[in-house]
């Protein structure tokens, strides 16, 4: 029997009834201060709880007044510039090191990092026949749906799937961090073969390689990649790993975790949130916008022609007629996005290595000219700057990552943040925190009583 996908007259009539009876007066959202899309007009996020995992600063108070400032991002209290400077200057891969920081609250020693990398390497394995029976069957053109299905199916292979004890949840999270790249890349290969009729090849990950290296190696038929390619992807993954407690998918993780559900369901919910084009799919829109821009601009060195095109974007006369310049502006940041500032210098290096200097020149021109055009055309309540999505799609294209994997690669980064937030939520509920707190108090009282004797 064929799955019924027809929208009948009855469905259309019922749809009209939904519109008639379920619409809410838009003025009420302002009256009751409801923050739709998890952001208010000041760019502040809705919090599902308190968090120490990461923190964003975009405004500072001066004499009681909020003043826009250069964006700041901290992971576990450490500034993102300090974190990235550490591994970039020493030419180390940072993903595993920063994942340790996220999960355990402090940067690892050399011995701790070595042990953690070994642990991740040992976990880079899927259940027997999982690739064949789950990933390769019913492949989807949407890799995020494929990834969600794979995550939910892992529940059936886990004999302790519903055990929400801290040690078990940590085990599950580390396993997901290790296997997300495999499920993403294998899902793409299945789609590429069964739907696009291309060649099929499955490369096993290496315990000796970093996460970024494994992604490039598993994705490419010849398994080859350059050191610069792997390091730029590694940096991108660190910068996408986490972004405050109020972003949509992290909010989802906290809310769903608070219900007491299993890890696989919580992470699948977060994936559903990330899939939305307003959250995880923005970099694809940036790439498509630049393709259209190059078709409609005769001279990329003519700044007036570039500004004219940008103005058409704002006036809904060009590209998708949404009125947006994709990659410019951010729901939280005002004057600058620290992730974009860090990323840009390495994007330039990769563009030069890939003979894409002219493209980088165009991106840089748009980054510089767009705030001017937006400022002249619209009244905005805060500054406008390039965000991380402005450059990430460009980088993924230079790395020959298919667009179908842009958002899943984001998920391979953000699974670390989701895991840290899930663990944090569990620790700070009565179920865990109160017995632990009481144990500490009892120990302190015992020591105090012993000292008195």
Positions annotated as catalytic residues are 330, 389
Q: How many residues are listed for the chain in this entry?
A: 453
Angle, CA 447 vertex, CA 444 and CA 450 arms, to 5°: 150
Report in angstroms the alpha-carbon separations of 306 from 46, 145, 292, 301, 321: 37, 37, 12, 8, 17
Q: Identify the helix (H) or strand (E) that includes residue 17.
A: helix 9-22
Cα gap 168→153, rounded to integer Å: 18
Question: Of 107, 34, 113, which is closest to residue 75 (Cα–Cα)?
Answer: 107
Helical segments of 195-219, H only: 211-219
DSSP 7: -
Question: Of 82, 61, 59, 71, which is closest to residue 336 (Cα–Cα)?
Answer: 71
Cα gap 390→139, rounded to integer Å: 30
DSSP, residue by residue, 150-162: HHHHHHHH-TTTT
Would residue 71 be called left, alpha or beta, if left means φ above 0 and alpha means ψ between -120 and 50 degrees?
beta
Question: Of 204, 194, 217, 192, which is closest to residue 126 (Cα–Cα)?
Answer: 204
Cα gap 258→256, rounded to integer Å: 5
Cα gap 312→322, rounded to integer Å: 10
Report in angstroms the alpha-carbon separations of 386 from 71, 171, 333, 374: 11, 37, 10, 12
Q: Which residues of 113-144 are buried (b: 16+ CB within 10 A; e: fewer)?
A: eeebbeebbeebebeeebbeebbbeebbeebb
C-beta neighbour count of 74 within 10 angstroms: 20
């Amino acid at each position: 029997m064929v799955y019924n996908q027809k929208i009948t007259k009855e469905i259309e009539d019922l749809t009209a009834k939904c519109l008639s009876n379920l619409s809410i007066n838009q003025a009420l959202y302002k009256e009751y201060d409801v923050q739709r899309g998890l952001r208010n007009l000041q760019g502040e996020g809705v919090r599902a709880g308190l968090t120490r995992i990461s923190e964003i600063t975009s405004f500072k108070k001066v004499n009681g007044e909020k003043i826009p400032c250069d964006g700041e991002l901290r992971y576990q209290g450490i500034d993102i510039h300090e974190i990235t400077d550490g591994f970039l200057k020493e030419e180390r891969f940072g993903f595993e090191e920063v994942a340790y920081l996220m999960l355990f609250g402090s940067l690892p020693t050399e011995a701790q990092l070595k042990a953690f990398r070994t642990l991740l390497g040992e976990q880079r394995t899927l259940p027997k026949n999982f690739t064949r029976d789950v990933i390769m069957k019913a492949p989807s053109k949407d890799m995020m749906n494929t990834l969600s299905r794979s995550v939910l199916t892992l529940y059936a292979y886990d004999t302790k799937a519903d055990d929400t004890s801290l040690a078990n949840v940590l085990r599950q999270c580390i396993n997901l961090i290790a296997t997300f790249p495999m499920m993403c890349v294998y899902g793409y290969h299945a789609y590429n073969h069964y739907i696009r009729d291309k060649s099929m090849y499955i490369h096993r990950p290496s315990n000796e390689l970093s996460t970024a290296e494994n992604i490039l190696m598993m994705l490419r038929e010849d398994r080859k990649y350059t050191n610069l390619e792997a390091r730029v992807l590694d940096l991108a993954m660190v910068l996408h790993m986490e972004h405050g407690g109020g972003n949509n998918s992290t909010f989802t993780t906290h809310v769903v975790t608070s219900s007491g559900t299993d890890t696989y369901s919580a992470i699948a919910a977060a994936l559903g949130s990330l899939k939305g084009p307003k959250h995880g799919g923005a970099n694809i829109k940036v790439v498509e916008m630049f393709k259209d821009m190059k078709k409609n601009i005769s001279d990329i060195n003519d700044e007036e022609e570039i500004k004219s095109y940008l103005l058409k974007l704002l006036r809904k006369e060009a590209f998708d007629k949404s009125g947006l310049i994709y990659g410019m502006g951010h729901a939280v940041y005002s004057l600058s996005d620290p992730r974009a500032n860090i990323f840009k210098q390495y994007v330039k290096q990769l563009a030069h290595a890939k003979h894409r200097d002219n493209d980088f020149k165009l991106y840089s021109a748009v980054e510089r000219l767009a705030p001017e055009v937006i400022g002249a055309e619209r009244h905005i309540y805060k500054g406008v700057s390039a965000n991380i999505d402005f450059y990430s799609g460009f980088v993924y294209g230079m790395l020959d990552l298919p667009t179908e994997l842009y958002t899943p690669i984001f998920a391979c980064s953000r699974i670390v943040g989701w895991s840290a937030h899930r663990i944090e939520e569990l620790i700070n509920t009565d179920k865990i925190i109160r017995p632990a707190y009481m144990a500490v108090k009892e120990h302190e009282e015992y020591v105090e009583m012993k000292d008195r004797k």
